[in-house]
Structures are given as C-alpha cells and as structure tokens.
Chain A
Amino acid sequence: MLFDNTDFTSLELPSHVVRLRREVRDFLEAERRQGSFQVHLGHGEFDAAFSRKVGARGWIGITWPRKYGGHEGSYLERFVVTEELLAAAAPVSAHWVADRQSGPSLLRWGTEAQRQKYLPAIAKGECYFAIGMSEPNSGSDLASVKTRAERVAGGWKLTGQKVWTSWAHKAHAMFVLCRTSPLGENRHEGLSQFIVDLPAPGITIRPIRFLNNEHHFNEVFFDEAFVPDEMVLGEIGQGWKQVTSELALERSGPERYMNTLPLLLAMIDRAGPTADRMARLTIGNLLARFAGIRTMSLAIATEFSKETTPNLATEAALVKDIGTHFEREVTEAAKMLFDATPATDTQDELERLLGEATIFAPISTIRGGTTQVLRGIVAKRLEASL
C-alpha cells in the first residue's frame, strides 16, 4: 500500500559516501574545537561565514551539474552531509533554504540566465534565499494565496503580503507564489512563481519575533513591486505544480527527524554506563524509533539516487509525520529521565538543548505540511489504492 516497491535490504552506503561522511565529521569537529560555532538546535544560527566554508568544501549543491557550480554527486552524498550537519547542530540556516528548495527549483524550472545568476553563488555559500508562500489567510491551504501579480509592460506588478518568511531580512532573493488569474473551479490553476532580489523598491520586510523573542520570521509586503519577465520562475499558471514537485525529497530528509538528535546523544552521555533500567528502556526505545525512521528516509534518498523522480510523495509525507513527532518524544523523555529544566540561559548543555528543543517543538509539525494535512494525504492514497 505504501513503500510497495521500496527495497529496505540494500541500503549499504558506497565507500566514497562513507569517506565523505568522515570528511564532513572531521571538518565539523575541527570547527567546533576552534569555537567557530556553538551547538544550537533548530537549524542553528544564520552564519554566512560558516556557510561559505561549507560551500568551499563542495557541500552545497552537491547533486547539481558542475556548470552551475554543483558537484554532480548523488542524493546519498547529500544525505550524509545533511545528517552530519544536523548531528553536529551546525549553524546552517543561511544556506539551508537555497540548497534544499530554491536551488533544485531553479534547476528544474529556471531559465538559463536565472540558473547562471544564482546557482553558482548558492553553491559557494554566498547567496541565500527566502520562500514566500504562506500568507495571513493561507497556511495549509496554499492554493488560496491572495498576493497577486498583474501584467504590466515588460513584466508583472506584485501586490499583497507574505508572512512567516524565514530570514527574508538577510536573504539575497526570494521566491513569491502569486495568483496570476482569479481563483476558478480548479483551485490549483492560475498560480505562478516569481523571483525577486532583495531588498527592492515596493517590498517592505518587517520582523515577526519567534516565541523565543528571536528574529528569523518576517512579514513581507508587496506594494506594486515590479518584477521583469525574465524573473518569472517556470511557466505562468504552473505555480502549483512547481511548488509541489519537490516535496518528496524535501519532506523525507533528515531535517524532518534529526533536530533533537543532538539532545538524544547528550542524554546517552548523561545517563552513562551505570544508567538504570528506566533510562536504558527509554533510550533503547528512542533509538529503535530513530533507526526505523532513518531507514525509510535513506530508502527514499536511495531511490532518488537511481532515478530523479520516483513516485514517493506519499511515503515522504508519512516520514515527515512520524519524524517530527519522534523529535518531540526525545524532548519529553529528557524531561522525564533527568528531571531536567528546559532553559536557554544556562551552562548545562543538556538543559540548554532541552530548552531549545522545547521552544522549536511546535514548528516542526507545522512547516512543510501540518500533521493533519500529511495524514490526509496518506489516507487519500490508501483510499485510492483500494
């Protein structure tokens, strides 16, 4: 019914991928020892210097063609690099969106000029993107976006508002999903994507503080902001297909279930060799869940390394649902096992990680498809497959 043709028995990583993992791990270990970053959960800090180092190593745009600054590596290489960055809780926020979402979209739908303009800079870790999809009245129901683009001489004029736009205040460019024709019978028609460079006239970016009082979300206002024709992404009217096409890989990646792994590893160290039975059972249980989720995620990445678009979107939705809930189980277990106090202002590493995990917990089951939407996708697939 799900994963019907997926092979879970041949997931051994090729030796060059194992070597790559070792290189990434050594690099991160050296960086941490030099104090170049501090471990923070939730994709870490926006750290352009760190992103440039990762880019210089060739670990951004791993699967992209060389002529766009990529490295023509496999999805398995990308998988292990992502795993190691997340296990180390490295500060990857600056390049994260461009590497995972904007870059692949540009490769698939962008013009030659757009690819040349952005991809090599993204791969170097120098160009960062924001994604303008959600609006005040459009969250899960993306087809209901109201930001509109009107045809004018030589381009389009954008008017409307985006919200919860991560790092728009630091990004060099942004994708904006707009309505280019009125909402009709087919809700998925009449949507289009545009690329805007930031900052730009007619575009206002205002901070929205996250519940830890930090600034990474924004609201972005478009007041007849002009976008030339050459900055249309893909085809006018094909926006829905374009934004949903990348979801399989995006929803099943390690970033959906590894955000609290550093906390779990810290829990293992805190419990130590003399751990009591409750700690052994709890941590054994969490490790078993983690391993199962990782096997599914790795199997999807392996299928992508064989062909570019295997039909695994439903399976990916399922991995995200289970993965994001697993992240929260780790947090809860830490509280129960160690009677630890979640805090952000503490010298105790475990309590600090617990504090960050607690604060970030609500987002993971919302962004990239809420639990409820994902489960609806899975159920519809089951209904259709009978």
Chain B
Amino acid sequence: MNDSALLQDAARRVFLDFYESDRLQSARQQGWSAELWSALEETGMSLISVPEAAGGSGGSVVEAAEVLRLAGKYCASVPLAETALLAGWALAGVGIDVPRGPLAFRIIESPDPLQLRRRDNAWRLSGTVENVPWARHASAVVLIASFGAESKVVCAPKSAYRVLPHANLAGEARDCVVFDEATIEDTQIAGATASITADKALQRGALARAVQMDGALERVLELTAAYAKQRVQFGRPIIKFQAVQQELARLAGEAAIAKASAMAAAAAVMSDDRSALAVAYAKVKVGEAAQSGAGIGHQLHGAIGVTDEYLLHHSTLRLWAWRSEYGSEAYWADRLGGHAMSRGGAAMWEEITGSAADAR
C-alpha cells in the first residue's frame, strides 16, 4: 500500500468505529461527536494538510479530501473540514498560531455584520454572526472577514463570544455567535494575503462539502444496492426487477460523477490551477447528484429508509444539508454561468480543456 492508501485505511477504521446507530443518534443530539474528534486528534488527522511548521500534520489538500470523503461516507459529525482545511489553513497562512482543539470557521463578506474597533490599545469586536459551524464545541472561532476595505483573519478565543445553538437538517451544530465588545489580542488578528482570501476560503469550504457529499453518496449506493439484493418481494430479491435495476444504475451514475467532480476539484485546489472553476463544477454537480441520489436511495429502500433505527437517513439528511453550505448550487451555477457568458463560447471551451493561456 502507498501512503495515501494507508492514510485512507487508517481514517476508515477510525470513522467506522463511530458508524453505528446509537452513536450517530447521540451525535445528532449533541451537535457533534466529541469522542470521534478525540480519536482524530490522537491520530493527527484533525490537522491534516496544515503545515507541520504551524503545528499541523502536513499532507496535501488531496489527502485531506480523501479523508474528508470518508468522513462524509461514515456520517462523521466533527469539525474536520473547518479545523484543517479552513481555519488551520487560514491561520497558518497569515502567521497566527493555530490553537489546540476543534475550530469553527466562518467567512463574512459584505453586508458586514461585524464591527472591529481599536480601543484602549486593543481590538474590540462586536456583532452577531449566524450559521457558524461547530461554534458551541470549538476552542476558537476563526473568521475571515471584511472590515471596511480591509480583509482580515481573526482568531477569537472561546472567552470572546457567546453561542446560541442552532443545527442543520442533520443535527450538526450551525450556531449563532455573538460578539459584544470582545477583546481580540494583536497576535490573534492579521490582514488577509494574496493567497488567503475570502474567496479561496469559500472554494475550500465548497470543496470540503463536495467531497463529503461524494462520500455520503457512495454510502447511499452501498446501502441501497445491499438492501435491494437482500429484500424479497413478489418471491424474489427486488434487485432482480428491471425497474429497480434501472434506478440503481442511475444512483451509481450520480455517485460516480460526484466522485469524479469532487476529486478533480481537490486536485485543482491543491495545485491552485483554475480552482474556482473546478470547485464551481463540483459543488453544482455534486449537489445535484446528492438530490437525485438521496431520492433514489429512499425510493428503493421503501419505508425502512425513513425510520429512525435504520442508517440511511444519517446520510441523506447530510446530503440535503451540505448542498446549501459554502455556496448552494444556485450560487455556484450563477457564478459559473456568469463567468462563461463573460468569456464567450470559444474561450470557455479553451478554459474547460485547460488550454487557455490566461486561465492559469
């Protein structure tokens, strides 16, 4: 086995330990799985792709994506994407120490809900930010936000804010965070750079959700194929019916194109080559695949799939929730279409094939 296969194998073992009904239910009530997070910290996977010099575990964006797709596949309720691919990346990139523990991350673009002021030789942060993934469980909330004309990365420690708990469809913490004249030390704030920007952060977030959805779709396919093979109606396993086979094949098609799109985007983000385009393709296509894939999965499972004790809904609820996070399909398709129309057909073909001199 090569390094990447070993890593995936190790990750799969960790995630599988927590992939059972009781633990998933409990994570849904808590808004996360604290024990799974501890297991990831012990193996060093919680800071994958964050440079070792910044206290991370090293590794590439593609390796992080491979671990994240397994996290998605096994319904891991942990801030892995936010801690490693987003907060860890942003803090290391602007030279702020990466704090220990799980990190929340939020991109804030205008209209700006936050005010940052200088008072008594310190920064003071005020305002309310909604929909902050994992905030109630995080040791710090990391923001990339525009304050007037300036874009800054801020690392706000737990003591700087209070949290009103909210959750997405799957019960994952998506909290409201309130800053009330919170003091931010000078060492915890830095200007964004050419490579650490709000848009790059959005691309990474969208990539994370795309690979997580790709993993979740793979699980929906496995569960559905296995169920269709085992479930007997009219005297035979339902997988023997052509009508069922046709739908199963469509589900396999959605899972396959999701994987291709998501992993191609991971490569583009890693090499920083046409990454906005690749992420837009992936978030739109994987989101669409999530919708039709989850639908087919439920249809072929019949009523068992919508019951609490069966595992399918943990995957499908996540698919429905993740579609909207870090830019919905509507956001990315609009942006992608707008870009194409500003370029024109011939130039767009050059970009698709990677042969446009100015697209690099």
Name A's B-contacting residues (CB within 8 A). 1-3, 7-13, 18, 21-22, 25, 80, 83, 87, 261, 264-269, 271-273, 275, 277, 279-285, 287-296, 299, 315, 318, 321-322, 372, 374-380, 382-383, 385-386
In the complex, are the beta carbons of B337 and A275 less than 8 A apart?
Answer: yes
Q: CB < 8 Å: which of A7, A285, A379 contacts B245?
A: A379
B140-148, B174-182, B217-225 - the one binding chain A: B217-225
Query: Contact at B245–A292, with CB atoms within 8 Å?
Result: no
- Tally A-B pairs: CB < 8 A: 183
- Interface members, chain B 330-360 (any A CB < 8 Å): 330, 332-338, 340-346, 348-349, 352-355
Give complex CA distance A385, B355 in Å: 39
Whether A269 pairs with B267 at a CB distance below 8 angstroms is no
Q: Given that A287-B340, A321-B249 are contacting pairs, would A2 and B256 also be in contact in the complex, using a CB cutoff of 8 Å?
A: yes
Least CB distance, A330 to chain B, in whole angstroms:
12
Is B46 positioned at the interface, with any CB of A under 8 Å from its CB? no
**Are B239's CB and A268's CB within 8 A?**
no
Q: List 22 contacting pairs A-B, 8 Å CB cutoff, sorted by A.
A: A8-B264, A9-B264, A264-B345, A265-B349, A268-B343, A272-B341, A275-B338, A279-B337, A281-B330, A283-B341, A285-B284, A289-B288, A291-B264, A292-B257, A292-B261, A292-B282, A318-B249, A318-B256, A378-B253, A383-B225, A386-B225, A386-B226
- Contact (A383, B239) CB under 8 Å given A8-B259, A8-B263, A289-B285: yes
Nearest to A289 among chain B residues (CB) is B285
Shortest distance between the CB of A265 and any CB in chain B (Å): 3
Interface residue? B319 (CB, 8 A): no
Report B331 CB to chain A, min CB distance, Å. 10
A288 and B282 alpha carbons, distance in the complex (Å) = 7
Q: Which residues of B contact A265 (CB under 8 A)?
A: 345-346, 348-349
User: What is the distance, in angstroms, from A254's C-beta to the closest C-beta of chain B?
Assistant: 11
Give the residue among B266, B338, B348 with the most A Cβ atoms within 10 A. B338
Distance in Å: Cβ of A147 to nearest Cβ of chain B: 28
Q: Mark B23-49, 1 if CB is under 8 A from A, else 0.
A: 000000000000000000000000000
* Majority DSSP secondary structure for residues of A touching B: helix
For residue B239, which residues in chain A have a CB less than 8 angstroms away from its CB?
A: 379, 383
Contact B225 A3 (CB under 8 A): no
Q: Kindly state the separation between the CA atoms of A296 and B248 in the bound complex, as whole angstroms.
A: 19
Q: Which of B193-225 contact A (CB under 8 A)?
A: 218, 221-222, 225
Residue on A with the closest CB to B262?
A: A8
A123 to B246, CA, bound (A): 39
Whole-angstrom distance from the CB of A310 to the nearest CB of chain B?
15
CB pair A268 B336 closer than 8 Å = no
CA distance A287 to B333 in the complex (A): 9
